Amino acid sequence: MILVSGDVERHIRAEGEKWYPDECCGFLLGQIDESGRRRVEDILPVPNAGQAEERHHRFRIEPDDFMRAERQARLRGLDVIGFYHSHPDHPATPSEYDREQALPFYSYVILSVRRGASAEISSWELSGDRALFNHEELECAAQHRARKRRY
């Protein structure tokens, strides 16, 4: 399970809309507790390093940006626990390309952006054999509060 605060969710949505019709991308900085629950504390946006004509349906992150993100996370007592990217005018489900590029362990948060407006958001984890992406339960703090109010 991955927990995303309201601020982090808003930030991801803003990035997706800002870069539309290209895919936005960046890192999820956070912590993993003893039970394996992941909490995203912040995001670190980075430029989509893909070819200009590919950026509307693919994202690429430079190895240098990865190293910088890990350093920044460590300085703040956090870890890089995953990546986020957007799917302009496509559902928030991983593409075949996403699966081929993905690494085990990390969470992959995908935001759908439709006609420039952010839509559904989901999270995915690569299976151990890298054959498929499994849906990871994503909980947004805003939803959390709403549920608490109801009971």
Neighbours of 21 (CB within 10 A): 13
98 forms part of the interface with Zn ion (CB under 5 A): yes
Which range in 8-16, 92-100, 112-120, 127-135 contacts Zn ion by CB under 5 A?
92-100
Nearest CB to Zn ion, comparing residues 9 and 98: 98
Cβ at position 108, least distance to Zn ion in Å:
8
- Interstrand relation of 138-140 and 38-46 (parallel, antiparallel or unpaired): unpaired
- Burial class of residue 114 (count of CB atoms within 10 Å of its CB; 0-12, 13-18, 19+): middle
Cβ at position 94, least distance to Zn ion in Å:
6
8 A C-beta contact, residue 77 and residue 12: no
Which range in 39-47, 65-73, 96-104, 136-144 contacts Zn ion by CB under 5 A?
96-104
CA 103 to chain centre: 13
Cβ at position 148, least distance to Zn ion in Å:
33
Taking the CA atoms of residue 124, residue 35, residue 66 and residue 84 in that order, the dihedral angle to the nearest 10 degrees is 30
Cβ at position 25, least distance to Zn ion in Å:
9
Question: CA–CA separation, 67 vs 80, rounded Å?
Answer: 10
22 forms part of the interface with Zn ion (CB under 5 A): no
Point out the residue whose Cβ comes nearest to Zn ion: 98
Chain residues in the site for Zn ion (CB under 5 A): 95, 98
